[in-house]
Structure 1
């Protein structure tokens, strides 16, 4: 149970960082450049992780990295960037919280993981909380922004579970390596499209540069490595419910920093979301649901402790 708690805490780094990312993107990054915004988020983060793990794709992982980069990075980042610009922080982050149920459905078909009653109950309670927070928001709601958030949920849920499936067994590449490859591939796919569609890159002010540093290093490199490490060790239902900390962070940050009003309805919603997260906590031995890494060792599976060498 103590090991499970450590993996839950590590995984929680991702949704907290992503919840703050909505505010940073909305307030500090140049508006009207979703392709450049996504490329400048993904490519530096991928290169940092690539320099750290020092592994190149091998065999099927060249194609897998491209597919995962397209789903989890290229398409997902553009949708999230657009939603962050079109919606208030609280609304953008709460729409994304429908992902637990979508992830459970994807896990059922892609990795044969059946969600337990606690996971389903937590998802229903969490969704109830999300509805309360969304309906209780005072900011304007953009239909294109909501649609962008919903599409991001579908794309990322499928891509995340696909990454879990492909990292199973002897063919698994390790979390740090596979995360580095898909971020780098996604950034490289985005860059020429950004040049063709948006022309010259936007001017970056000092505050925007610092924001890009947070978005790339914390909300992308660190967050994605933590998220995929948790997904490798914990059931998809548990990880999806931990993701509900995303809207909690977004709403609280919007209230504390952006001056958005937190209503009584949203407070009730926050309580329900936290109850849903608690219901999904793992109760078994750590590592049972997760795949075995390329070398058959849990550390290898998660990508920690892999020797730094190019191969």
Structure 2
């Protein structure tokens, strides 16, 4: 019998994996309007790099408290660095700059074309042939995206094109990292794995940010520091650990499709926090997306 984390294994869908996926979706969904707000005070490289490094340090401490080894076998360093670049580094940089050009809701929607690329890549790389339910799940999810895009009157103007390309690049990188993590698993404890990947992915970003950005941390209000704390702890110490735990328990394509709840959460919270529109289009998107997630978890 092939071990569940090895290529070619058929990963079973259990309640623990779905619970971790739900935690991930909520944590990342809330973080989109939070990051959009904070970018008004701190440049993208400084913001994303600093919160990532602080999050990695907290995760490393948590791993030691839970007696999880931070030791990485020599054979795993190559795949660890690759995962850090794709899952963390590319995503943090490209999505951070995408939010400079795009509203939080539009950046979220473009970013979460990621499940399409993951499902397509999982076929040739992992042999996960898409079945009917997964195809329907993708159709439902993109019906939801279309509803939100229509409601927002999303137009690919020249001023938005850099943000669109950056968000798509981040989505492609994360999708490839998701699939390769299933093909070449690290076999590290989830908290230790998250600490290493986030630290390796974000440290160069933080250094670059402090060298070239003009950051004004003193300009952050009390609410700004509170949101900075959420972006550090909620995004990295909770959502990323839950993501790696979900990925270890679910097929790559199911895990990726399940994160389609993130743009809905991001759009709804952006409506309340940033006063972006919330109407029938967003409600229709919520219905379609949740239907897609339900289908994906039954496949």
Normalised-by-shorter TM-score class: 0.7 to 0.9
* Alignment equivalent of 2:217, drawn from 180, 199, 203: 203
Show structure 1 runs of 4+ deviating over 6 A.
none
* Distance in 2, Cα, partners of 1:159 & 1:255: 31
* Distance in 1, Cα, partners of 2:141 & 2:171: 15
Deviations 1:25-70 (A, max 9, x none): 1123445611111111211111111122231222122332222222
* Distance in 2, Cα, partners of 1:244 & 1:13: 13
Aligned-pair distance for 1:132? 1.5
Check whether the contact 2:133–2:298 (CA below 8 A) recurs between aligned residues.
Answer: no
Check whether the contact 2:271–2:278 (CA below 8 A) recurs between aligned residues.
Answer: yes
Unpaired runs of at least 5, structure 1? 284-311
* Distance in 1, Cα, partners of 2:228 & 2:80: 24
Q: Secondary structure at the match of 1:136?
A: helix
Deviations 1:151-182 (A, max 9, x none): 11101111122223222xxx622322221111
Aligned-pair distance for 1:21? 0.9
* Distance in 1, Cα, partners of 2:51 & 2:124: 31
Correspondence for 2:271: 255
Aligned-pair distance for 1:250? 1.1
User: Is 1:49 matched with 2:63?
Assistant: no
Aligned-pair distance for 1:214? 0.6
User: Is 1:154 matched with 2:181?
Assistant: no
TM-score normalized by the length of structure 1: 0.82
Aligned-pair distance for 1:139? 7.4
Number of residue pairs matched? 278
RMSD: 2.2
Check whether the contact 1:238–1:282 (CA below 8 A) recurs between aligned residues.
Answer: no
Mean CA deviation greater in 147-156 or 111-120: 111-120
Correspondence for 2:24: 14
Deviations 1:127-147 (A, max 9, x none): 121011112115786222222
* Distance in 1, Cα, partners of 2:188 & 2:125: 18
Check whether the contact 1:88–1:140 (CA below 8 A) recurs between aligned residues.
Answer: no
Mean CA deviation greater in 138-147 or 260-269: 138-147
Check whether the contact 1:29–1:211 (CA below 8 A) recurs between aligned residues.
Answer: no
Q: Equivalent residues in 2 for 1:259-274 (5 A)? A: 259-274=275-290
* Alignment equivalent of 2:262, drawn from 246, 254, 259: 246
Unpaired runs of at least 5, structure 2? 1-12, 65-69
* Distance in 1, Cα, partners of 2:167 & 2:43: 17
User: Is 1:133 matched with 2:148?
Assistant: yes
* Alignment equivalent of 2:229, drawn from 204, 213, 218: 213
Correspondence for 2:240: 224
Correspondence for 1:277: 293
